[in-house]
Structure formats: C-alpha cells, structure tokens
Structure 1
Amino acid sequence: MPSRPPVAAVPEELLPYLGEVAGVEVLPYDHEDPNTVPGGGRDVDVLALSMIAGPWLRRMDEVPGLRAVVLASAGYEHALPYLPGGVQLANAVGVHDTATSELGLALVLAAQRHLPHHVLRQAQGVWDRSAPGPWRSLADSRVLVVGYGGIGTALARRLLACECEVVAVASTDRDGDDLVGRVHGIEHLPDLLPAADVVVLTLPLTDATHGLLGARELAALPDHALVVNIARGPVVDTDALLAECASGRLRAALDVTDPEPLPDGHPLFSTPGVLVVPHVGGASPASLPRMGSYLRSQLEVYRDTRQLRHTVGS
C-alpha cells in the first residue's frame, strides 16, 4: 500500500461540509470553471452534480494516477462512457434519497389533486372549482414503486403515510421489509401494471431499464393512471407516453425527460394531463451537507483500503 496520503480533488462548494479528513490531502477546485483542473496527479476525483460535471468527466483520462471517482449524483450512467479502465466509480448513495422522494410525493399529490389546473386558474384570477377529470386522491390508491433502492424506499415510507397501497418492484424478487410485504422482481411488471393507479419510476438507467415503459407497458395501464418519472428520462418511451397522454387516457408527472433538457415548445409542455418540472429532484439545502458527510466516509475508507464503497458500473 502506498505510504503517501491519498490526494482528492474536491469542489470548493463541498469544503465547508467535508471538513478535514485525517490522512487525506484535499485539492479544492472551482467546479464551475472547467479550466481549473488541479495540477499534478491525484487518487480521487469528486465530481459535482451531473448537470455541470460534463467538462470534468470528459477530462478524467488526463489525470495521471487517477484511481477513483466519486459522483455527487445518484445517477451514474452519464459517467460510464468517460471512465478510464481500472478506475473505480461510486455514486452518491443515500445523499438524495430524501429530496428526490419528497419531490416524487409532491408530483403524485399535485397530479392526483389537479394542482396544475388550479394554479393556472389562480394566475387567471378565477375561482373555479371544476377539475380536468374525475376527482382523485392518493389515499386508497395502488402505487407501483419501480426501483426499490434508497430513493424508492424513502418514497414508499412517505406514500404509506398517505394511506395508499405500495407495491415495490426491484431487479429481483426478495422478501419485504417494514414497509412492504414483498419486493417483486422486474419480470413481474407486466402482471402488476394493469392494477396500478400510479407508477413511480425510481430506478437507475442501464441497458436493462432503457425503454422499460414502452408502448406495450403503457397500454397495459388502466385508463387515467398516472406515470411519475423521478429516475431518468430514457426509462420511458417519450413518444409512446406522449401519445397516451395526448389521447387523454394516461397522465404523467415528470422530473426527468428524454430528451433532456426538454427543448422549448416540446409537446410535453402543452399536453393536457402532463406536469413537467426541470430535473430538480435533488435540489435541496440538505444535499451539500449530506454529500459532505458521504464524501468524508468515502475518503476515510479509501485512505484505509484504497477502495471506494458503493462502486457501480464494474
């Protein structure tokens, strides 16, 4: 094991939340300026959120001696094409569970209770108790949470407080926990969709999940079901979803889209029954301090073992 302390390049915005890590040399850098790559070799790169990490990702192969990369995002598919061979990659496990599940619950409630319609009527200065469809509630609904990891579990906990039935789906069958009696394998999804009032996607984007909800799967949902995507846009076939929503048969609430960012004037913006927010699931004051704590634990483990926890893509 090398005798020198490991060197980690860390975005300046994280330094107040990271603090000193004994036995680790920290090189701060300005994550908003891709020309400020810290000089010299280093062991660990810590990257900012995926939306602004692109320039750094594309330059990972320029770092001599790089051994590990820690992402500040839960998603990691954007980093895999640029990851040099032999370099460990870890995503921000647990950092965004609370914020993203909060938004997921907000999207479900907003869509079920017709809040977008009422907000528009308020902007028009009109008192209007009508609704663009049947009155709905989250209570007594059946909600499919597809992707029962950290975010999915955090969402299930919040959904249950709203007195709905939660059905959990993950990559493989397994026993349940204190929230759900059973976790269904993804192969059971076709059997579960026809009885779902709401489907919430919280799973990572991989080859296996790309286009998971396509035309056939969407057609299996009952009329007026709600599709909520807080995962990654390409998990859903955009054209198929748009067709179902434009017909009035399904509804959608989307924090992520394909393409992303969604171009100005895209039909999703104006389709009735579709609520779009611009990928703000992790936007929370809690994110930086939680990332600082997570990063501290990662650097301490790396210092002692030269390995990261929660590695992905290998």
Structure 2
Amino acid sequence: MRSAHRPYRRPRTVLAMDLPVRRALFDDVALARLVAVADTDPSCVVGDFADPAVAGRLAEAEALFTGWGCPPLTAGALERMPRLRTVVHAAGSVKHHITAACWQRGITVASAARANALPVAEYTVAAILFAGKRVLHTARVYREQRRWVSPIDVIGSGGNYGRTVGVVGASRIGRRVVELLRPYDLRILLHDPYLPAEEAQRLGVRPVDLDTLARCSDVVTLHAPELPETRHLFDRARLAALPDGATVVNTARGSLVDTVALTDELVAGRLNAVLDVTDPEVLPAGSPLYDLPNVLLTPHVAGSLGNELGRMTHAALDELERYGSGLPFADPVHPETLARSA
C-alpha cells in the first residue's frame, strides 16, 4: 500500500462523526492502525464544526476521517479548516456531508462505499432466494397449522430453478448482486440507462427497458440512486405490470417505490415484498405493512452493521494510508458521478 519510493507522511487528521459511531467503527486493532497512519487524537470526535473547543484542531487538519453523523461541510465550516485537503468517509454515501464548497476548494474525497456494498448485496441475494422458495408463505402456514404440512403443496409452483430476477441499477451493489447470483440457475435481467451494451455482456445479463423488466420478473430488486428522476420508479402502473406472486426487494431507497400503490398490492395479496427501506422511513405505526404475512419489513439493516463495520473502517484507513503515501485513492468520489450515485 505504501509507496516504495516516497517516505510515509502521517497527515494531521480529525475524526468527524457521532461519538457512538466512532465507538462502533473502531475496535482496539483499528484504533492502533489509525494512530499509526494518521497524526490524530482518536478521543477527539467532532460533531459540530462550530464548537469552539475543537477550533484549534480543525484549523490544523489536513484530513477529515468521517462517519455517520458528520455535519455538512459547508463553505462556513470549511473556513474553519484552511489546511483541509482530503475527506475519507468510513461509510457509503457522502451526499449527507460533502457539498459543492468541497469541490470548489479542490478537496479530494474517498469513501468505503465498495465495502458497504458487500453486506447489502448479501442481504439482497438471501431475500431473492427466500422469495423463490416462498419462505414467508411457508413459514406462516407452518406456524398457523402447527402440524406436518406437505412442502410440495405449500411451495406449489415456487422454487428458484429458472426464475427471472430483474435487477434495477448497475450500481456497486447491483453489480455485486449479479455476481453473487451467477452460480444459480436464474435468468438475470438488468435495467440501467447508463450501462453500455458491452458491459452488460461482460456481466452476463440481458439489458432491458424498465417496463419489460417489470412484466417478466419473478423478483425485482432495486439498486438505483435516490434522484428526482428515480422517484416512484415503480409507480402504480409499473407495480401492476408485475406478474401475480412477484416479489419486490428494496434495499436502496424507499422513494424508488410508490408506497401507497405498493401497500394496495400487498394488502390485496397479489405481490410480496422484502423492504429494508421505506418512504417514509419510519412508516406510520398504523401501516398494514408491519403485519402483512407477505411482507418482510426490516429497519435499514442490510448495510454494514456489527462486525461488518470493521470492513468499512479498514477500507477507509486503506484510503487514508494511500493519501499519506502520495498514492491515488482506490475508490475516489468524483463530483460528476456523485450526482447519479447513492
């Protein structure tokens, strides 16, 4: 990782995130590595750039090591950090704190989005395979009857052999889902308006328009970014086009789906859903989605949690070490691609 031709320089670094996040991200091993690669005080965690108590540290900072809860890096905040040159984010999206002022200042940005994509893709693949096996339905029948039930009768025409999975979005997560599904006997459709035909061929998927994907998919899994043009990508008409018994998996952003229209389909029992995100998030207490037997609802847990956080931490420390070595980031964030990414 370190350049063999340049001496390593530990950049003066400040941590900016919620304090509980710092505790979750850094175990003893990660803390030891942090102080080895950066000139920093890991006990100083900034949650407010206007706090006078941290003014001196911010004035000297060359790098920010950020996590969930980092305040926005507005022009006013950056005035307090005249020496700041780079921001390394130990999580996925940087849209919550990287502003236009950062790009105007020429600040470089890296994130651990690639590391965070892995558990989301794993969760998604588990949801797809469980959907094909009709696990929600089968578990409910078994729980209600509390006696031997015929698996053949309960699963009926379910199963994963030859099923069609529609992947919406060739993001890091979408591509990883495609890779993880490759060993299974599934047909993969992919919709992404930015995906070149040769890249679709390399991925081994069939590129299709969104309406074709909706009509032909037994499972639809969403991996598109939250943008004005992706709001209600699956609206009432597109949801109605899904085959009876199809499953909608959403681990991306709740706004990609019209919640009212999806709720109507789910209450009617025509569709199934695995929803790790919703719009709004959290749903109202009276929403039927909490209790429907054909819905698996989880509170945004597909991304890095528990010991998976360590993967993100070390990915971000890799980037900080590259910066200290004078090497380019392995996973840089660019303003021109941030506009159409998560």
Indicate whether the TM-score tops 0.5. yes
1:14 paired to 2:26: yes
Moved over 6 A (4+): 130-133
User: For the Cα contact (< 8 Å) 1:138–1:164, is it kept in 2?
Assistant: yes
1:1-314 equivalences under 5 Å are: 6-10=11-15, 11-12=22-23, 13-14=25-26, 16-17=29-30, 19-20=33-34, 24-29=38-43, 34=47, 38-39=54-55, 40-41=57-58, 42-49=61-68, 53=69, 56-58=70-72, 61-62=76-77, 64-65=80-81, 66-79=84-97, 86=105, 87-120=107-140, 126-127=146-147, 129=149, 134-170=156-192, 171-176=194-199, 180-182=203-205, 184=207, 188-285=209-306, 287-303=308-324, 309-314=331-336
CA distance in 2, matches of 1:90, 1:193: 35
Deviation at 1:132, TM superposition (A): 7.6
User: For the Cα contact (< 8 Å) 1:173–1:183, is it kept in 2?
Assistant: no
Deviation at 1:291, TM superposition (A): 1.6
**Cα distance, 1:34–1:129 mapped onto 2, change above 3 Å:** farther
2:230 counterpart SS class: coil
Deviation at 1:88, TM superposition (A): 4.6
**Seq. identity, %:** 28
Q: Which moved more, 1:287-296 or 1:245-254?
A: 287-296
The code of the aligned residue for 2:316 comes to: L
**Cα distance, 1:145–1:6 mapped onto 2, change above 3 Å:** same
CA distance in 2, matches of 1:210, 1:29: 41
**Cα distance, 1:279–1:243 mapped onto 2, change above 3 Å:** same
CA distance in 1, matches of 2:95, 2:34: 30
Larger radius of gyration: 2
Q: Which moved more, 1:81-90 or 1:206-215?
A: 81-90
The CA RMSD over aligned residues, in Å, is 3.5
Q: Which moved more, 1:80-89 or 1:109-118?
A: 80-89
**Cα distance, 1:183–1:135 mapped onto 2, change above 3 Å:** closer
2:188 counterpart SS class: strand
The CA deviation string for residues 171-216 of structure 1, in whole angstroms up to 9 with x for no partner, is 333313686335637xx22233211111111232223323222222
Q: TM-score, normalised by structure 1?
A: 0.79
User: For the Cα contact (< 8 Å) 2:73–2:97, is it kept in 1?
Assistant: no
CA distance in 2, matches of 1:213, 1:20: 43
Unaligned runs of at least 5 residues, structure 1 = none
CA distance in 1, matches of 2:98, 2:232: 19
Deviation at 1:89, TM superposition (A): 4.3
The code of the aligned residue for 2:133 comes to: R
Deviation at 1:133, TM superposition (A): 7.7
Deviation at 1:281, TM superposition (A): 0.9
Unaligned runs of at least 5 residues, structure 2 = 1-8, 16-21, 337-342
The code of the aligned residue for 2:175 comes to: T
CA distance in 2, matches of 1:83, 1:138: 49
Deviation at 1:105, TM superposition (A): 1.4
Aligned residues: 303
Deviation at 1:270, TM superposition (A): 2.3
The CA deviation string for residues 114-167 of structure 1, in whole angstroms up to 9 with x for no partner, is 323444456568125377885412221111111223222221222232311112
User: For the Cα contact (< 8 Å) 1:93–1:310, is it kept in 2?
Assistant: no
CA distance in 2, matches of 1:269, 1:128: 27
The CA deviation string for residues 36-64 of structure 1, in whole angstroms up to 9 with x for no partner, is 98552223333334xxx2xx325765462
**Cα distance, 1:7–1:178 mapped onto 2, change above 3 Å:** farther
Q: Which moved more, 1:263-272 or 1:85-94?
A: 85-94
CA distance in 1, matches of 2:239, 2:120: 23
1:176 counterpart SS class: helix
Deviation at 1:306, TM superposition (A): 9.3
The CA deviation string for residues 59-105 of structure 1, in whole angstroms up to 9 with x for no partner, is 76546224443333323444457975645544323112321111101
**Cα distance, 1:296–1:158 mapped onto 2, change above 3 Å:** same
Deviation at 1:243, TM superposition (A): 1.7
Structure whose residues are more often helix by fraction: 2
